[in-house]
Structure 1
Amino acid sequence: MTLGGSHDQNRPGRLIVVSIDPEKLAASLRVLGTSNDRDISAALHDVIGACVQLFGVSGSGLMIADQQNVLRYAAASDGPGRVLEDVQSETGQGPCVDTFVNGEITSTDDLATETRWPASRGTILEHGVRSVLGVPVHLGGVTVGSLDVYLDRPHRWDDSERAALSRYGEVLETTLSAALTARHAGQLAEQLQYALDYRVVIERAVGYLMADERVDAVTAFNVLRRVARNQRRKVAEVAQHLLDTGTLP
């Protein structure tokens, strides 16, 4: 695979990808479209491993919304990548959560000097993650997850790296869509379909809380999630109740 790139000045000789051949990349990911229930997890890990090689980063991970519309671990290249995902699922804080809720690229150049995400930042740092770049993963225009890469050192992410990871995410979206259509992904397909069905309702409820409580989108989303968890209900049910009645259940 021929890739265009530039050398990271913070790490001499290390290649940071700035362009990706979409056809060759799509071919390398096509295994997802033909995977069955048994090996879909392995295929996702192969994709994440390829992401590490393509971008010359310390690690990578993929989080997909579950039937509570909460981001969950789907694949990670290593232990720190798994911690990065698990702690964000538990706390509702982190770059991947912001990426998912806001539907936009989120990054941090150095978690050691970061003021966002106080509930998760310390644990992530303890496992050697310093800089993170995440892009939303969409299906049918709906955000269903977050794809991220990270480095074990501070790094200023530039526009070329953001564009390259976004392109990688777009190819992944196409492949996940094919897996969903073919129903090859088992539980993953159910999660994706639920996210597609109820994301709009949840986004409307988030907007309602933002206006009513004067909070940001992530805070509003975590209010819905907390109520759903306490009442053992799905986030979409809590969101619909709020929209119907103007109050949280």
Structure 2
Amino acid sequence: MASDASSVLENVLTGMAGLFGVDGAALMLLDTQDRLRAIGATDDDGVLLESAQEHVGDGPAIASAASGGFVAIQDLHADRPLGFPHVAVHALPVRAVLSVPLIEGGELIGVLDFYARAGHVWDRTEVEAGYRLGELMVIVLQVLAENRTDRAPSGQL
């Protein structure tokens, strides 16, 4: 079951990156201690980006989760506050990142990151598209969670 969910998430992230026209997409969800944890990505660069943010405890996704709003980074390697160079050194070759919060029932559940290997200025329409794809990701996560509970052995809740 877990591998089925992982496969679905990988396919959804790949599809979202393709629709968005970026190099990749990655997902971080809050754990039981309200810390963002890397869940999946379209490729190794996305895994590095999410792992770096998790390890360093900072980055666009963490800033997005803290603010509850989007974070658009043109060049991850730029000095703060325009970039996150301490994350960038662990996340080569990612340059640009758009992080959007994932909200379910008024509560933050995670962050969806879109990234490019070249510097990129994120415009208003891209931010709006990121939010819409974030809403879709929440629905995908809800369906995956429902499927997991629906498959519980008979007699268990």
After the TM superposition, list the runs of 4 or more consecutive aligned residues in structure 1 that deviate by more than 4 angstroms: none
1:154 aligned to which of 119, 122, 127: 119
1:155-174 equivalences in 2 (<5 Å): 155-174=120-139
**Does the 8 Å CA contact 1:138/1:144 hold for their aligned counterparts?**
yes
Question: Deviation of residue 138 (structure 1)?
Answer: 1.2
When the two structures are aligned, how many residues end up with a matched partner?
A: 149
Question: Deviation of residue 179 (structure 1)?
Answer: 3.0
**Does the 8 Å CA contact 1:179/1:185 hold for their aligned counterparts?**
no
Q: Does 1:90 align with 2:55?
A: yes
Structure 1 CA distance for aligned equivalents of residues 71 and 121 of structure 2: 12
Q: Does 1:103 align with 2:103?
A: no
Question: Deviation of residue 101 (structure 1)?
Answer: 1.8
Match of 1:120 in 2: 87
**Does the 8 Å CA contact 2:71/2:98 hold for their aligned counterparts?**
yes
TM-score by length of 1: 0.56
Which deviates the most, 106-115 or 50-59?
Answer: 106-115
Identity between Structure 1 and Structure 2 (%)? 34
Question: Deviation of residue 185 (structure 1)?
Answer: 9.7
**Does the 8 Å CA contact 2:78/2:85 hold for their aligned counterparts?**
no
Match of 1:4 in 2: none
More helix by share: 1
Match of 1:130 in 2: 95
More strand by share: 2
Match of 1:75 in 2: 40
| 1:144-188 Cα distance to aligned partner (Å, 9 max, x none) | 1000111111111000000011001111112322333444499xx
AA aligned to 1:82 is V
**Does the 8 Å CA contact 1:37/1:185 hold for their aligned counterparts?**
no
**Does the 8 Å CA contact 2:53/2:62 hold for their aligned counterparts?**
yes
SS at match of 2:111: strand
Question: Deviation of residue 46 (structure 1)?
Answer: 0.5
RMSD value, Cα: 1.9
Question: Deviation of residue 120 (structure 1)?
Answer: 1.8
Structure 2 CA distance for aligned equivalents of residues 118 and 111 of structure 1: 6
Structure 2: gaps of 5 or more residues: 152-157
Structure 1: gaps of 5 or more residues: 1-35, 187-249
SS at match of 2:58: coil
